[in-house]
Structure 1
Amino acid sequence: MMASLSDTDAAALAQGVATAPWTQRFLDALDAPAGELEAVQWRGREALARQPLPSRRDEDWRFTDLAPLLAVFDGTAPTAGSSGGTDSPAAASALPPPAPDTVRLLLDGRSDTLAGQSLPAGLSLLGEGEWPLALGHTLAATGCQAHWPVELNQATASRCLALRVSGTVASTLELVSVAGANRPDAAEPGTNPIGQRLTPVRVLLLLEEKASLNVLQVQLGDGPCLSSLVCEARLGRGSTLRHGLLAFGTGEACFLGHLAVEQEIESRLESVWASRGWALARFEPRVSQAEGGAFTSLKALQLAEEHQRVDTHSRVVFEGPDGQLEQLHKAIADGHGRSVFNGAVKVPRLAQRTNAAQLSRNLLLSNQARIDTKPELEIVADDVRCAHGATVSRLQLNELFYLQSRGISAAVAAGLLKRGFCQEVLRDLPPAAAGWEPLKRLLAEA
């Protein structure tokens, strides 16, 4: 039986006090740790048992309402398999075919990802003596190893896709995770109810010197479920990682994701993420330029509609001179949706000649919607070029008028302006993302 969240625990959460009883019932409902990450699972569960649930008393969570996530596991929502179907955007049978020169792997945190599949030249599995030493290193280096969503993932994922990248990989690596009603094993008899609703994915990428990889991660969720993602990447000197993340949910689905990246000198990270449809989504990219002298580009687009809550909390730290950062975060809030962005950039004294630019641009389409944006720079170095800014606005009336004066209806004109707003981010996704029609999914176009 799945444990229910009592009124007492719900009240405790609302007041921001300890919620260990709920956590303990959640842990008790999990299957016993197993698989190659058994030791990691034990450590994650011990850490969760010591932590209260995040609350609005915590600065990093003061805008985040965990109620949609708790509802997934409180026993009152429909069981996985009772919603969705083959027409759902998260249905495994509805996945578009892989793009040319793309290798698709399905990840669920439990099964053998490479069963019956081979990796392209330049990609190889880390050996049994390698990945345990590397796993968690970047989480620690970026200061997020003890984050509650990370511990939740570590407590539940039994497998990790751990890859070494050598040279230039010609094929795009596409990693797809389907959570909730349309997960392949959702309807199997005897499946743990918690297991039906929780899909934890763990990925580790080690890029050797001058290696290059395009990777597209796709997280799908349908109905009451949690899609949990932790991705670590270490970029060797002169290496390049082009990373895309598409996160599409429906109904009560929730998403918690961490991207932790360590960059050596002359390495290049280009990360783009887009999200829509989750009852609650929280994504946390964490980057450390270990020696400076690297390039980081972070671009994001998130939509919050109805009563959805979507958060992005990023942190970039320069540990040496001559580092570069370009960050653009965009959000659209409609209905009663709420969008949150908190972007921290740290430039200590040793990070001289850092060049960092951070911009948050937001569209507010409803009087009931809300956008909270907080770009922040912490600068100690004195020889830097750093700037940040934020705007929150509605669709520009003069632009709407211009389009309508040329015979375009108000609805079509608004749609064109929203498309242009989104394309500035989406155009930088890996080419393999085109098959997923991200603009169509994000704007719910027919």
Structure 2
Amino acid sequence: MVSDFFFPQPGGVELHVYHLSQRLINRGHSVVIITHAYGNRTGIRTLTNGLKVYYVPFFVLYRESTFPTVFSFFPVLRQILIREQIDIVHGHASLSSMCHEAILHGRTMGLKTVFTDHSLFGFADTGSILGNKLLKFTLSDVGHVICVSHTCKENTVLRASLDPLQVSVIPNAVVSENFRPEPERASKDHITIIVICRLFANKGIDLLTAVIPRICAIHKTVKFTIAGSGPKEIDLEQMREKYRLQERVELIGGVRHEQVHDVMTTGHIYLHPSLTEAFGTVIVEAASCGLLVVTTKVGGIPEVLPSHMTVFASSPSEDSLVESTLTAIKLIENGEVKPSTFHDEIKDMYCWEDVARRTEIVYDNIIHTKNDPLIVRLSKYYKGGPWAGKLFVVCVVVDVIIYFFLGLFWPVSSIDLAEKWPVKGLDVLNDEEEDNQ
């Protein structure tokens, strides 16, 4: 697994990589994670079940994305892939430079590759155009692509000009046991609305800043608890000061994932004002904790939860979000919904074991396919565009040359192979699955 985004940073991609890796280990596979160094966290760390994480020191450019170098990552990556006897390179996230480079270098080494897209992007602004062209380059010669929702699949297919048959939809999941409802923790005197997200513009924080004063003015018994950190935190603080809502709007800052349950169970409603979202794992966690979810009808969010668990804003606008939030408050006050029953439904809908099993099918389908000759690979990249295609071909040729010289100066025989962590045998696992069935 390769991605710029992993622990100790919290987030949906980070959780996906971790839980998928753990379930694949439980199914008998050997998994390692490669990411960049986070502060003093460098080198090799071993997590639960012997999950090995390589924290490679690279310069971070923006929001934990490393500076794209194309080729300088290759020597380190080659050493790790050979040392760990890797068969499949699985990259995560469109904005991860390490992911894109790992897929390119993995194909040069003759390994199988998979890419999982967790985000939605546009087609009009300069950043999206450049990002989509980079995605087209990376996915020109990838084994298979996974998206976390059907909306995400449509977006990725268009952005990278992919054959839809080459793309599968495998959603995120939650550990439902960690998100059990505790209704006794929620206040009986007032309604608490919970918000947990990174405080960035794309998460709808500007919308949230405008909505909170209006809701507080209408409902005197409503309080807000907002967890998260980011550049928009100052806007929330200024809003709270301006409208004198210190007693009704609590800003608790960033929280670790293991604290999310404790925050959520103090509320009645979860408010998710995001402007773009491919899936939205946090709303599944909120519903599992027994919260009624109020959210915008954008991206893949409408696919995530049944209608009785959500109140949708018809558009990502201030008036619409206020109206939907007031509707949810009324439903809670009148007892017209039973959020306490949501947990049992979520437990049956989203399971990491199911995600791992479906991902394993993708691996099985590509692992036995023959690798294309170099000339066929180059022809795929050449179709990337009149100018971009030629640049893609040059990059691949240079990558092949670098791989040749790396093998010349650091032959495979000079690289020590890592000892494998003992894993549960698949025969035992299959027996347990049969017993469960």
TM-score normalised per structure 2:
0.27
* Greater Cα radius of gyration, structure 1 or 2: 2
More strand by share: 1
More helix by share: 2
TM-score normalised per structure 1:
0.27
